[in-house]
A and B are shown apart, each in its own frame.
Chain A
Amino acid sequence: MARPAYEKPTLVRNTIGLMNKAGRRADLDEESSLDGIPVTKLCAEFGSPLFVFSERRLRAKIQEAKDALARRHPKATLCWSYKTNYLDAICAVHHQEGSLAEVVSGMEYEKARRLGVPGDRIVFNGPAKTRTELERAVQERAIVHADHMEEICLLERIAAERGERPTVGLRVSLDAGVHPRWDRFGFNLESGQALQAARRIARGGRLNLGGLHTHIGTFITEPAAYGRSAATLAAFAGAVEKDTGARPTHLDLGGGYASTNTLGSQYHSGALAPTFAEYAEAIGSALVDAGDGTTPLLPLLVEAGRTLVDDCGTLLATVLSVKRLGDGRRAIVIDAGVNLLFTAWWYRLNVVPARNTGGFIEETVVYGPLCMNIDCIRESVALPDLKPGDRLSISPVGAYCVTQSMQFIHLRPACVMIDPRGRAHVIRRAEVLEDLTGPERLPEYLRLEGMREPGAVRRPAETGPARRD
């Protein structure tokens, strides 16, 4: 008879509430393949760690959001928030599905243009637009939302120089009952600054009034908050029209819709997050209620980011070592750290073994490879006994992880996308050392000629007289 496989002997003290977390659990989720491709095959072919995106899931998410909006608003358009994930392939999928680009910097603007997005399909937000960037945006008829009064003045000067009358919208901060309240971006509504700015644009004689934009915060799990912001923004649009005679061209309700990730502070699993339909319902009914029943609703833009892409991304990683900490807890070190998983600092990411080891499940600390104390992916997650070389899948990591990843100590890994037919495509190759050293310049006098041959390090005596001090 075959002997059972050896596992390190494990002893866990049961505590109330954790009873079911130690021992053998039959209900452990496994994710041994992604869109039909075994995790082991993906890692063998493309390396580890590895970001894997599901095109099928991404298209389904976008379609679901579009349908949800279309059922509740006659003229709603999704805008892809580039900062969430601006890999070309991800952006291209969004644009193929009809989304505009929403950018917050000149670099993102350029990236969208380079991909083939026309200027008039780019929403240009952000608190730090330069003169050159604004000149280009005006020339290419981008949808600009001004962040502060100096920007409006700058746009007036650009308009005068060009002899044009560009359309300029406003970013508005408002009280939607969300904490913390985001009021550092745009013009505040309650204090009257937003109305002042709208008057300046509408009556200044150089610009046309564009749309009104607001972004109330991030990872907001309460759809009603969007109902309140939609109602407030719509009422403000009415007030602006009454005051200035100019009707805003659109309302833009920004992003911040929750993904199925779980915040560190959340008690319930993020899988219970509202669906996009619930957000769309709150927005749609608030806008209908705010209308007079006869005037057509203003076109609506929505800048959903994480809710669309987070669940479409998984990071595959490999166990490097297994150890016991001084206090007896089990810990594993894996080849992916907070350099790739920035969001691990505020989410409890799912960490799941790629194969069912059948081993003894125990609360385990998951560390990255960075040689820094802050490099912890999970303080505690129920994992079976693992061995070096075992693969793990970490999810959801589709939002912000790639764009905020750092080249720190380790080169960044490849990203692949699995198409709806189950074929994997490299959408960003793994970095090589030249990607890091390419932009560097070593001043001539710092060249280490003497270190070329082993043992040829020059001693101070050979380089000059010894200092006496």
Chain B
Amino acid sequence: MSRTDFDPSALRALAISETGFVFDPRTGHSYSVNGTGLAVLSGLREGLDLPGIARRLYEQFEVEDATVEEDVALFAQRMRDFGLGVRPGTAG
């Protein structure tokens, strides 16, 4: 069960490389993400919710300012806008 509005099978279908190259075979689009972006994607694939992902970023990265929750929410919104990791038919 996913604790976000993202679709587990859509997330599983993504081909994600360690260098931050993301390919969505359903749409043919490819994306680039940075290190924290990769961490968000893998958190979503593991079924974490957004606050859980933010907590993980605090642990994994040296964070100076405290906008991580907002940043994660924005990233998730961008994914929805691109139709990335959402149920087919709900792509933006």
Chain A interface (Cβ < 8 Å from any Cβ of B): 2-14, 22-24, 324, 328, 359-360, 385, 387
Contacts and interface: CB of A to CB of B under 8 A. Distances in A.
A278 B78 CA distance: 50
A1 B33 CA distance: 23
Contacts, number: 81
B37 A10 contact: yes
A7 B78 contact: no
List the 10 closest A-B pairs by CB distance, nearest first.
A360-B34, A6-B61, A9-B36, A9-B37, A9-B75, A6-B63, A22-B32, A23-B32, A8-B71, A3-B62
A9 B29 contact: no
Given A3-B62, A5-B61, A6-B64, A13 B34 contact: no
A328 B81 contact: yes
B82 A13 contact: yes
A10 B40 CA distance: 10
Nearest to B74: A324
B68 interface: yes
Contact of B62 (A4, A8, A9, A324): A4
A6 B36 contact: yes
Contacts of A23: 20, 32
Given A9-B37, A11-B79, A359-B34, A3 B20 contact: no
B74 A12 contact: no
Size bracket, chain B contacts = 20 to 34
B55 to A, nearest CB: 13
A2 B61 CA distance: 9
A23 B38 CA distance: 12
11 contacts: A4-B35, A6-B36, A6-B68, A8-B74, A8-B75, A11-B22, A13-B82, A24-B34, A359-B34, A360-B32, A385-B34
A205 to B, nearest CB: 77
Given A11-B78, A324-B74, A6 B31 contact: no
A389 to B, nearest CB: 11
A9 B72 contact: yes
Nearest to B34: A360
Contacts of B57: 6, 9
B90 to A, nearest CB: 17
Task: Name the residue among A2, A4, A11 with the largest chain B CB count within 10 angstroms.
Answer: A11
A464 to B, nearest CB: 53
B30 interface: yes
B62 A11 contact: no
A388 to B, nearest CB: 9
B30 A7 contact: no
A337 B34 CA distance: 29
A12 B63 CA distance: 22
Residue from the set B32, B40, B84 with the largest chain A CB neighbour count within 10 Å: B32
Contacts of B48: none
B39 interface: yes
A4 B84 CA distance: 26
Nearest to B79: A11
A387 B32 CA distance: 20
B30 A14 contact: yes
A5 B64 CA distance: 8
A6 B63 CA distance: 5
Contacts of B22: 11
Interface in B66-92: 67-68, 71-72, 74-75, 78-79, 81-82, 84
Contact of A10 (B34, B60, B68, B84): B34
A324 B71 CA distance: 10
Given A9-B75, A11-B79, A4 B61 contact: yes
A328 B84 CA distance: 14
B64 to A, nearest CB: 7
Contacts of B67: 8
Contacts of A3: 60-62
Nearest to B78: A11
Contacts of B75: 8-11
B61 A10 contact: no
Interface in B1-56: 20, 22, 29-37, 39-40
A11 B37 CA distance: 7
A3 B84 CA distance: 28
A14 B31 contact: yes
Contacts of B74: 8, 324
Contact of A11 (B31, B35, B65, B68): B31
Contacts of B36: 6-10
Contacts of A11: 22, 31-33, 37, 75, 78-79, 82, 84
